[in-house]
Structure 1
């Protein structure tokens, strides 16, 4: 598995700054792999593929530290928050594809300063990958809740734990998907979406989980970038557990959950995070977040045990429950700083590298 993280670039007051190209131009090999994203106010890191959760954890920390080393040369800080606490204008990266998207999608593109976390998990082939996609959908909303880390939007409290999920849902292909059954049906669906002329290319198929066009993986894209590297490690372990559990059950019928129910469960996870009720995939009724996340761990327990990840997941989850999700922590920092959201961004920058 491997993990990609999108990180915000801010100045010394916590405000987003459009310095991605300068940061990338000045980056050194020791900083690790860094890439541009849609906006000049963010950059992306990526871990190498690892089988060991310990190695993933180390690579996540190294990636964040390398990104900060590159940002230091441009007097900027990297922050693992999925939306900026402070207001922003947003500067689209000067690449033809991004500028075309900005013209085609209007305010959806202009306001797309959001940062996600994408977990890639290896699969044998497209057949196994589609079988996995068909079986993990009910459990993706709890992953969003675990990662929830974007309570603020344009300088105000949105009322959501993950407002990124609301902003991201504006894209026409974003969100949960139906059952596909076979690779042929999946690829035909992608071709049909491109064929509508609404999206630019297959890379704009923004399903919550999809077959990667670049790697032999299932790419789980539902999560906010996590405030803590520990939470990102937990997310990676649970994502791999979901994929492995699904791959082991390909002979069982995939759960045919209506997309409108999945979408509603995802909305609930973005609204509440870990601080309220979620929709329980076992019953499709409301239940405390603690119970739903516990059910997720039970669902993937055998895969976690076989990977040697169960003890780490138990420890990381315990720490997350004690500290609160990223949204809850940001709100607590804001309260302690008398509402100073610049101070929240800078506190989050410290936590990014902790």
Structure 2
């Protein structure tokens, strides 16, 4: 990686949800055991909704070199903890093999399972959340109001969940379809002010149809725990390189939006944003996406190129442009996670267990 930009770099942290699988490739409910015996050297590890997954989280970092190293260290630490219980970690947005997930035995998760039925029971899905520092809620809301058109390309480049319940879903990111069942998930309208944003969140909680503020699952939101904008749209990325690319582009989007805070925010209907996200989940990088400059179909390569152009000044100022160009070259030559999973399935004559095992190998590269 290269680049020595002189602009003050916003810090970035990355949270990754990872599957726990057995050596046969099937998800296994070992989260309680893995987390119970985790050591400080394994890094911060947390529960997710299902016993078949755990979450890693990096500390905030300023340079892409630090971010890339932290992502790899988080994955290695998670594998070290899983090794003690004969499990492997796999960066898979959904399991290639059919499985009914096991809800973690915590009160909040059990309440969610009881209240939301099949939607909660079928949430063995893994995403990647990127936290980018903002000065305050005012800057954060200005960012949220301006990054929406560019979130779909982030989903496309992270797409890594083509299989669902043992079948090819036809989607590059079927995780995004499963996740969209949550009634608070998806793109958002303009808020304009922190007061309007917090009133919207409070209004959702007041409806009684979610358990608490933590269930406000916007594709991008103000973090309730950190002074960050949390971009939540992506699948967990198959490789650490793609996760690093996602973090760099997310930071570039936040910086670009913050610089444009005094200009009018783009007025894009939520239904168009939702349709663009559906298209990205369906196609990944293997077909057309909706171009945010025109809202008409265009080749994925061109739309991702437009995203890079949109954030180019921010990337250059932070010294990230050369690294992003390099990582994108690797992504185009190697394919997104969905493409690679399907290629592995073809090589293995449709053996989806082999796909899961190869994903576990790729997770630690």
Shorter-chain TM-score: what band?
A: over 0.9
Superposed counterparts of 1:326-345, under 5 Å: 326-345=337-356
Q: Is 1:149 matched with 2:157?
A: no
Q: Once the two structures are superposed, what CA deviation does each residue of 1:276-323 show, in whole Å capped at 9, x if it has no partner?
A: 000000000000000000000000000000110000000000000001
1:190 aligned residue (194, 197, 201): 201
Q: Is 1:221 matched with 2:208?
A: no
Q: Once the two structures are superposed, what CA deviation does each residue of 1:53-93 show, in whole Å capped at 9, x if it has no partner?
A: 10000000000000000000000000001000001111000
| Structure 2 residue matching 1:140: 3-state secondary structure | helix
Q: Once the two structures are superposed, what CA deviation does each residue of 1:115-150 show, in whole Å capped at 9, x if it has no partner?
A: 000000000000000000000000000000000000
Quote the Cα distance in structure 2 between the aligned partners of 1:89 and 1:213: 30
Instruction: Look up the match of 1:206.
Output: 217
Instruction: Look up the match of 1:136.
Output: 147
Q: What stretches of structure 1 of length at least 5 have no aligned partner?
A: none
Quote the Cα distance in structure 1 between the aligned partners of 2:290 and 2:50: 33
Instruction: Look up the match of 2:41.
Output: 30
Aligned residues: 354
| Structure 1 residue matching 2:198: 3-state secondary structure | helix
| Structure 2 residue matching 1:300: 3-state secondary structure | helix
Quote the Cα distance in structure 2 between the aligned partners of 1:36 and 1:191: 26
Superposed counterparts of 1:67-216, under 5 Å: 67-216=78-227
Q: What stretches of structure 2 of length at least 5 have no aligned partner?
A: 1-11
Quote the Cα distance in structure 1 between the aligned partners of 2:264 and 2:40: 47
Superposed counterparts of 1:34-49, under 5 Å: 34-49=45-60
With the length of structure 1 as denominator, give the TM-score of the two structures.
1.00
Quote the Cα distance in structure 1 between the aligned partners of 2:284 and 2:207: 34
| Structure 1 residue matching 2:61: 3-state secondary structure | coil
In the TM superposition, residue 185 of structure 1 has moved relative to its aligned partner by 0.4
Instruction: Look up the match of 1:266.
Output: 277
RMSD (Å) for aligned C-alpha atoms: 0.3
| Structure 2 residue matching 1:35: 3-state secondary structure | strand
Quote the Cα distance in structure 2 between the aligned partners of 1:115 and 1:90: 12
2:294 aligned residue (280, 283, 294): 283
